[in-house]
Amino acid sequence: MEGAELAVQVLGTWLALVLSLILLPSAFGVSLGISETYIKILVKTLEWATLRIQKESPKESVLKMSASSGIIQRDESPMEKGMSGHRGRDFELSDVFYFFKKGFEAIVEDEVTQRFSSEELVSWNLLTRTNINFQYISLRLTMVWVLGVIVRYCFLLPLRITLAFFGISLLVIGTTAVGQLPNSSIKNWLSELVHLTCCRICVRSLSGTIHYHNKQYRPQKGGICVANHTSPIDVLILTTDGCYAMVGQVHGGLMGVIQRAMVKACPHVWFERSEMKDRHLVTERLREHIADKKKLPILIFPEGTCINNTSVMMFKKGSFEIGGTIYPVAIKYNPQFGDAFWNSSKYSMVSYLLRVMTSWAIVCDVWYLPPMTREANEDAVQFANRVKSAIAVQGGLTELPWDGGLKRAKVKDTFKKEQQKNYSKMIVGNGSINTESD
């Protein structure tokens, strides 16, 4: 009996601390400075670890730093510039070596598939999750790593699971209860309060530290918010600072329970799998949503898949055919504290969440960009590319023309033909055959 009473007391004390120090401040959007202090300690610790590695094994450190920037060193100048020196003269057999070089570079390390794996770090963050495994460096560094494992798995993980349980439970119960009320301004206010509170609790469960910039450009009701996509937690990151109407496919299991509860309190746009294939139906439903200026802004990730936060890939044009005002948002995670990228082809949702919850923290910057509208002489593809460029520049991300769907699908034949045409234009120069050499 004494053991049972002690367990009850420990559990009660634990829940009381969680409620008073985390849950209540989250509900009111107040920070007690615990996360900020924790991040400062982490920064000092990781800086010490980096200096220790450089001191104990300088050669190994240099190798890891060079490897983190890529497998090979390549000439980043465009092919048009490289081909300029080969035009206006007779063909020589040595000319093919330039194309051999470019071909081998693409085979060894192309610019697409590396975006679907975790970003390599320049310095070790005391997590055994880098592509280059760090071996034994020193006894002191190993002891710090072991202490970090104990802290992450024995203290932070139970705390984060507790917070996530409370956040998800309150979201389901709160949205279900609010959904029973008649449509009114009070219902909308309560719905936004429930969403904000629960998302803040869930972000605390990841030890999330988010820095929002240019808040005067936050998405407004009746608009469309588009952002680069790294992880499912992108939704939590953005909803912590404002509510959105979600767009997505209907799921089963726990995700389905959450979706059905949320849509009762807020006009989220969920589609069945069969409806997602009908682009016109999806576009029509989204147009109906943004036509009502009292409804929350729609949150869309035009890439359609998760990218490892080093680049922005092709934006699907469907989001830019709807009309209305586009509010671009750039999200940039700091991989030094934890990898937010979800490689869905390698990890299940449960495995991914476990990895995130056993990381040090999730630290990111969010930039709200000025609203953009489609110009008169601009089609949907050009508008999508303009928005994508703005997000890439603000977030310090590499802009790529490739479709993120290449993660699971082959390159379309039409895209191959387009690249072949561009390739032939580069060879002959200006898109026409050079007749002077004939």
CB 196 within 8 A of CB 29: yes
The pLDDT value given to residue 270: 80
Any bridge partners for residue 29, and if so which? none
3-state secondary structure of 414: helix
The pLDDT value given to residue 362: 92
User: What residues of the chain score a pLDDT lower than 70?
Assistant: 1, 27, 56-95, 100, 104-114, 116, 120, 122, 128-137, 273-279, 405-412, 415-416, 419, 423, 425-438
3-state secondary structure of 399: strand
The pLDDT value given to residue 73: 57
Of 358, 371, 289, 290, nearest to 324 by C-alpha is 290
The pLDDT value given to residue 363: 92
- How far apart, in whole angstroms, are the C-alpha atoms of residue 183 and residue 170? 21
The pLDDT value given to residue 217: 93
The pLDDT value given to residue 93: 67
Return the domain boundaries, the chain: 31-37+137-407
- How far apart, in whole angstroms, are the C-alpha atoms of residue 432 and residue 286? 44
Please provide the size of the chain in residues: 438
- Gap between the terminal Cα atoms of the chain: 100
The pLDDT value given to residue 434: 41
In this structure, is the dihedral angle defined by the CA atoms of residues 273, 277, 278 and 282, taken in order, positive or negative?
positive
Q: What global pTM score does this model have?
A: 0.80
The pLDDT value given to residue 210: 92
The pLDDT value given to residue 237: 93
Any bridge partners for residue 368, and if so which? 329
